Structure 1
């Protein structure tokens, strides 16, 4: 069905006034122009809209159905026109942000608080997305912008039309069983102990699992992986229980705090929190505002929870 808003407006006036002539006078058209619009509308719908009642016209069942929906469509058009004709700062926009656990908890609250002052008509909708598929979700426009990850030793392949901006960099931390604190006195002692201990790591076919193994290799450690665990909180809990060493980052520990001893992995491999966005999406002021808010969220003093620091003296 191909109708125009002008036809719907004319139809609504005809239905309200009861004659083509009265509608023409009210709209400033000729009676012939009104009749022509109604003929085109009825031809598009292919069902009779009017029934004659002397000199007046009444609506058929199809006409009453169309009138009900036309009123909704015309009101929506009016609101859209009013919103777009007003100042740009008054136009409300919703930006979807792909998030994952540790970065979401750390960044979203300060970012949203920042937007309330810098761009009050921009709303954020957080959408949880698997961090490994985050760049593709952005490229396919399933989300507008995303918090993602990049590991220096295991970088993700670039995608056409997608760009990344580093927001925050943090080290890999070893979390060791509490009873093994004495092995953290020197970097060499830590490496030797790590090479003779059991480990708890994600599977090698996950992005974090691969990054952990590359980070260990950079540090001169070949982990004896006895336990394959993807969930960070479970990995930390298992390390606390004494069954092995695991890796995390300060933001990850912020999501699941621990009193177990920690140390920066020798060689200081790191991961970066990045903002991922389609280049074309940055033409939208609302998307640029959200990216600015995410940049702000990772600045010192922005209101994020303080990153936990390693508990060993030699590491930092």
Structure 2
């Protein structure tokens, strides 16, 4: 059905006033123009809209049905036009942000708080996405912007039309069994301990698993991987229980606070939290506002500390 908003507006006035002449006077049209619009509208629907009632026109059942829906459509059009023509600060937008565990826990609250002050009509919708599929979710426009990862020893390849911005960089930490606390002040002894202990790492076919093994190689450690665990909290809990060493980062430790001893991984391996977004999406004021809020969140003591 191919009608126009102009036809629906005229139809509504005709229905309210009862004659095309009266509608023409109210709208500032000629009676012929109103008649043409109603003929075009009638031609776009399969059932008669009008029935003659002397000099007046009455609506058929189909006409009354169309009138109800036309009122809704016209009101929605009015609201949309008012929103788009009004001050930008009054236009509400929801931005879908892809998140994963440690980044979501650290960044969402300060980012949302920043937006309330800087862009109160922009809202964040957090969407959990596997960090390994985050770039694809951006490419497929399933999310507007994402918190992703990049490891210094296993960098992500660039994607056409996608840009990334580093938000935060943090070192790898070895989470040690309680019995290893005595080695913390003696780096050579700690390195020897790490080379002769069991390890808890993610599988090698995961992004984090590969990054862990590259970090170990950079530090001169050959981990004896006895336990394959993907969940960060479980890995830390197992290390705390004494069955082996695992790797984490300061933000990851926020998922499972522990009293287990920790030490910075030798070799200066690190990971970066990055904002990933299609370059075309940055043309949207709302997406830029959310990216700025994420930058603010990761520069605040609430995240870094």
For Structure 1 versus Structure 2, the TM-score category normalised by the shorter chain is over 0.9
The equivalent residue for 2:202 is 202
Question: Retained in 2: the 8 A contact 1:164–1:275?
Answer: yes
Q: CA deviation at 1:300?
A: 3.9
1:118 aligns with 2:153: no
Question: Retained in 2: the 8 A contact 1:161–1:278?
Answer: yes
Q: CA deviation at 1:185?
A: 2.9
The equivalent residue for 1:6 is 6
The equivalent residue for 1:140 is 140
1:181 counterpart SS class: helix
Q: CA deviation at 1:125?
A: 1.2
The equivalent residue for 2:240 is 240
Question: Retained in 1: the 8 A contact 2:199–2:223?
Answer: yes
TM-score, scaled relative to structure 2:
0.96
Distance 1:208 1:221 in 2: 17
The equivalent residue for 1:193 is 193
Return 208-217 or 178-187, whichever deviates more. 178-187
Specify whether residues 22 and 146 from structure 1 end up closer, same or farther in structure 2 by C-alpha distance, changes over 3 A only.
Answer: same
2:133 counterpart SS class: helix
Question: Retained in 2: the 8 A contact 1:254–1:305?
Answer: no
The equivalent residue for 2:101 is 101
Return 57-66 or 128-137, whichever deviates more. 57-66
**How many residue pairs end up in the alignment?**
305
The equivalent residue for 2:254 is 254
RMSD: 1.3
Structure 1 portions without partners, runs of 5+:
307-316
2:299 counterpart SS class: coil
Q: CA deviation at 1:305?
A: 6.6
Question: Retained in 2: the 8 A contact 1:110–1:297?
Answer: yes
Q: CA deviation at 1:46?
A: 2.5
Q: What does 1:224-239 correspond to in 2, within 5 Å?
A: 224-239=224-239
Return 46-55 or 93-102, whichever deviates more. 46-55
Question: Retained in 1: the 8 A contact 2:298–2:304?
Answer: no
The equivalent residue for 2:59 is 59
The equivalent residue for 2:36 is 36
The equivalent residue for 1:309 is none
Question: Retained in 1: the 8 A contact 2:170–2:250?
Answer: yes
Distance 2:200 2:172 in 1: 14
The equivalent residue for 1:314 is none
The equivalent residue for 2:173 is 173
The equivalent residue for 2:303 is 304
Return 99-108 or 184-193, whichever deviates more. 184-193
Distance 1:226 1:68 in 2: 69
1:45 counterpart SS class: coil
Q: CA deviation at 1:60?
A: 2.2
1:162-221 residue CA offsets vs partner (Å, 9 max, x unmatched):
000001000111111112222333222222211211111111111111111111111111
Question: Retained in 1: the 8 A contact 2:282–2:288?
Answer: yes
TM-score, scaled relative to structure 1:
0.93
Distance 1:286 1:103 in 2: 20
Return 185-194 or 160-169, whichever deviates more. 185-194
Return 34-43 or 183-192, whichever deviates more. 183-192
Return 179-188 or 260-269, whichever deviates more. 179-188
Q: What does 1:66-81 correspond to in 2, within 5 Å?
A: 66-81=66-81
Return 156-165 or 10-19, whichever deviates more. 10-19
